[in-house]
Amino acid sequence: MTTTFDAQARATAQPRSAPPIIEVRNAAKRFAVNGQSLTVFDGISCAIPQGAFLSIVGPSGCGKSTLLKLISGLEAPSGGEILFNGARVTGPAEGMIYVFQQYTKSIFPWRTVIQNIEFGLKSHKTLGKRERDELCRHYVKLVGLEGYEHYFPYQLSGGMQQRVVIARALICEPSVLLMDEPFSAVDALTRAILQELILKIWQTIPVTILFVTHDVEEAVFLSSRIISLTKSPAKIHEDVAIDLPYPRDQITTRADEKFHGLRQQLFASIFLQEKGGAPSAPRS
């Protein structure tokens, strides 16, 4: 493919000193539960370089999704700050799109496939009708939904609905895509196909992806870097660069010994925490 630039260089050779596209500084999140304050995390800091495919993994309930919500601006931190392109995030920022875990609830059921995708273009008023149609068709093709343009969501499978949601996010050309366990609700085979699709997209389009998942194997397969969190109140437990070569595919990458080593290492650390053996604070 001629359009594919060197994702390998972008992912692994990226110097850590390059200006980060996202910076989390001392972020804290507390919720009031039954009159008591529950700390999800306090004092998380990390910098995400432009072009990264970064996954956040950790035991269930550790606050992975909450961290992603804070970065997106959909929720405000209780302390600390988030910087996006150097500017403080105070609300949903232009250039960042959040892809929800519950795609069935995020898709617009009253819009057809093409209308759902076109929704992502709404703010681009300068485009003419013809340009809009062309762009929509391009993204329909990118996620492999040709022939289904005029279907309503209820007529699609879960995997196809997730493709619509991804195309809708991509069409507004975000510099950051925030994905919250996007493939957790589809069957294993569909998931494998969608994983390859998102990798292909990441290698074709200059987009930074933050990917939350509880599936370590998925994280290793996709990411250029993985951050693992401890149990709540969460801290960054590990920050691992995944130096598996891109382009990756389900067959050869998963057969790689290095893949297994990384998977095993991360899985062990998370599993032991979930069991309660590793450093963690008691949950109230």
Partner 1 sequence: MRKRWPGFLLILVLLVLWEFASANKMIDPITFPRVSVIFASWMKAVTGTGELTRQLLPSMGRIFTGFGLAVIVAVPLGLLMGTIPMVYRLLEPITEFIRPIPSSAYIPVAILFLGIGNEMKVFVIFLACLFPILLNTYGGVRGVDSVLIDTGRTFGLSRVKALWQIILPASLPSILTGMRISLGIALIVAVVAEMITGNSGIGYFILDMQRIFRVPEMFAGIFTLGLLGFLINFIFLRVEGHFLRWRGTSVET
Residues that bind partner 1 (CB under 8 A): 72, 74, 91-92, 94, 96-98, 100, 102, 105-106, 108-111, 119-120, 122-123, 152-155, 172
Smaller CB separation from partner 1, 180 or 218: 180
Question: Rounded to an integer, what distance in angstroms lies between the CA atom of residue 194 and that of residue 182?
Answer: 9
Smaller CB separation from partner 1, 105 or 130: 105
Smaller CB separation from partner 1, 17 or 123: 123
> Within 13 Å, how many C-alpha atoms sit on residue 77's CB side?
24
Question: Rounded to an integer, what distance in angstroms lies between the CA atom of residue 25 and that of residue 71?
Answer: 11
CB of 65 to partner 1, least distance (A): 12
CB of 207 to partner 1, least distance (A): 15
DSSP bridge pairs for 67? none
CB of 56 to partner 1, least distance (A): 18
CB of 222 to partner 1, least distance (A): 21
CB of 178 to partner 1, least distance (A): 8
Cβ atoms within 10 A of the Cβ of 130, count? 8
Smaller CB separation from partner 1, 119 or 267: 119
Contact assessment for residue 200 and residue 194, using Cβ atoms and an 8 Å cutoff? no
Question: Rounded to an integer, what distance in angstroms lies between the CA atom of residue 87 and that of residue 252?
Answer: 41
Smaller CB separation from partner 1, 120 or 233: 120
Strands in the chain per DSSP E: 20-33, 36-49, 53-57, 79-84, 87-88, 96-99, 176-180, 208-212, 225-229, 236-241
